Chain A
């Protein structure tokens, strides 16, 4: 028995002495606020205070806390209270998975140094990774907490105000993520995974393994009752939930073992014999190699193309032409929450609570794999500790669903960091080449682009990437002639899927770095060159779509004074460089239906109940959708109660991807709220300008001199339990692309441009980022603080892609060999929110989530070239690659 003080109370716990303290706290004491991100001391998520000092609970033997004081996020200290408030006020918690560890580490700092400076905060918190915020808001929050600065009283308004995140209080208390749902008596599910990128296997006689007392059940591909093939795009369904031989990538699930609760999930002795086969590693080899999928010749999944005008003659007659190549790596999403969830039966209904970005798709795929009618599957998303695209695809949902369905018992599954990294999707590595030309005045004449994308073993979002890249690779610039082709090629690599930008960031690295060379050739300032070519209202895009509400010119103009200042400063400093790059990005599915539905009701008690099905993975939809609804309805946000997401309680608001929630679900929310308002006004016989107010169940409607009262408690209750309900859907008006990629694939585009100032240490090839200035046209900033949070977080991921992130299967499957930016790697960021309202967006709003990552990497490469002349053609630009590229 180990006795210690836990958050001020004495506890006794019977735990093995060398059990990880994180395990003891979570599994034996139910303190699930302590999050586990890596079990290796690489991420700091599990930080607790041991006698006041920050330690990783995952590295601490339980026996070591005997007689000592442990403080977890469930505890309270004066420092923790101040920090919680400050984090909440600064938007310093996005998804919330790193927040407990961040808060406790900061609390340790505040007890040692009451008023820490920014560098002190950075140094002290450097052991905790965050993948969402870009760290700047966290630094600000800790400094402010130290100063005891009175938090600004934030306005309680609708659109345009920086209200605090509605789910923020839960985030700073230790939110409930996929691993935190622990049904009584739940089996613990573990996957057997392929150690090879390509291998045949035979599973031997399972009877002895099944007979182990700790083993409840074993399942293989043969046990899948439905269709053992899924894809986020149903016509491409090719990926098995549990693979039959052969395994097509390292980390692929080939069997499941369900262990009794409390048992050591030991797979030693599982009877499986592997025969490694030659893997196709590169797209080049795969194009000429044996087929992964028999119906895909040349291992080609999809080829996307956009063709307009006569590129050959346009280039031939151009005053200046540049040609270039760019290669990018697999990039891992590296959210701090490894995939996790639980399943149980509620009568006939299979209930799955897990991290996700797409509950509706989870439900459809899980039902199909398990052979269930869709009505028998209910998905309740847990808080999701970062997604960035990878949690759009199902991971463990069908696995835990299968175990519960077959055994009738609840079960849980938590991926290890290694499993999360090997088995889930990646950003596509790209090999890109082509030419861009301009005339003597620097006006773009033509773009010729050829991209080969390593799409890995299965389809996932490969088709989307192949289609999005050619549409966007012109950048937000008027391009009279273009030939752009992107091919997604299968290999035995990890499955490449969605990652913030769907291939557009890779294309932008190629295009924006060539633009700098072209501007230099034309003898035009690089920002001026972009301004000269920036799309304007009424201009046609590469796909021939006539654009409106085009904000790129405004973004570049907003950077101009900064550019002038930065260039002047750089000219004085050794190794100083300045770079700029732009982005544009179409919001929502590419030329496909993409509806969202929102329901809103007034309860008999006088609450506004928002059935909000847009999954908030940290980006802020819980808050932003509610702000839009509040503005449209004309009732304060404080009257709102959020329901969902839950496929049983919320209509389908689609997936959290493609920067679509603010725009698409926001439009649905606006329409639903307007519908509810219209119904209220009709009942009150009031005009459009009437003012609504709630006082308990009394809803008053004031219209000039008249005052009407609706007693909500007196109205009959509808099927949703509400006195009044409205529901509305919205689907973006788009048109299909023709064979040449011509059409109107998106109804709304967002725009942005970023400027990077940096210093290159030429002797070592290292880069120190000095400042990033980011101008993004968001149409209308529904919540400026959350928009800024998206910008800072996207930039951090762009920095990682540019300078350090390279996923190598078998080699960088942890968070110390796979490097993501830490506290010291993200410089101060100045965000400039540009508002060019889009007539299609709710209150003019456009999407932002992915845009923010796109310009960062090319702007960094352009600044490196400006500083040193080094032309980087392969990212990440690790120090040795920069050294090699120096002229």
Chain B
């Protein structure tokens, strides 16, 4: 009974007051989301899951009356992680009337960003692209709903502080990272916090693609940090787990960036990975109402938009979170300003998302015209051998420190 109630709540959340217009939903003009993803090169570890989540959510929304009566159309294209093809995809979909874009690739998002800013099209870029894009005053059209890497790192430090009894002055925190912009991003914030909180910070750079970490971990064994915060990707975690075993570093002191999923866990070994920590703004596991609904409604009948294995992956939840927020914004745009939705009304709608958590799929976000990230709340989840168990509540800490960095960085963006 409880599950059913949840299902109903989700339906209502996405299709409020739609009952009268259910019949005509399919006749009305669609709301179109452009997904130019890398489905064939570097980001294939996440993009299929996100695309599938978007398709499922669109299908579910449409079958339940659409968004205020308007069906959702999800257009998926491949750009192969090549900036040139991303631009081509953007230009093509733009001409077909799409103004809501997501590229899910840092190089491509960066390449398209100036165009989207100039044309005034909404760029959804959760988890990818420039971190300072959460500064809504500079990046008016960019909506990276979710935490920046800076905020994630700050929240990780706050979590460690909590674990160590509220005092970091005697703590030693290690930071292992891929030595390129993705991994280097949190260093500045960690250094600032290390001065502020008085903990000792040790940096362990790992060369791309992260398969050689032997040197870093033998240093970690000597340094004996209390916790290791990890900015590695995919296979990097697997290598790290092997090194942890070899160097007798407890895996429950390994706090990963949000890029750690069930595939990595399976590669480490579900039992072996027991205790591994992950900072995230997306609730993991299949017990989340919207994911459970998808499994029951579609995958139980073999009607999902793709293989069920992809649903049992935290990146599917990530996709759900991204598009729940997107659909919510579309809903607000129509209720506030009516049809047709334009880039402007969509932008305003995004900026009036308030305390929205997609029925438990993600940290509650409140997007404003100043903060396009929505508050940057995350929590730490632990793998218990079968699923993700949250250890803390959603929270965002050291906001002032993080925003200093954001403002400092975004100030260098504008020219002429």
Chain A complexes with chain B? no
Interface residues of B (CB under 8 A from A): none
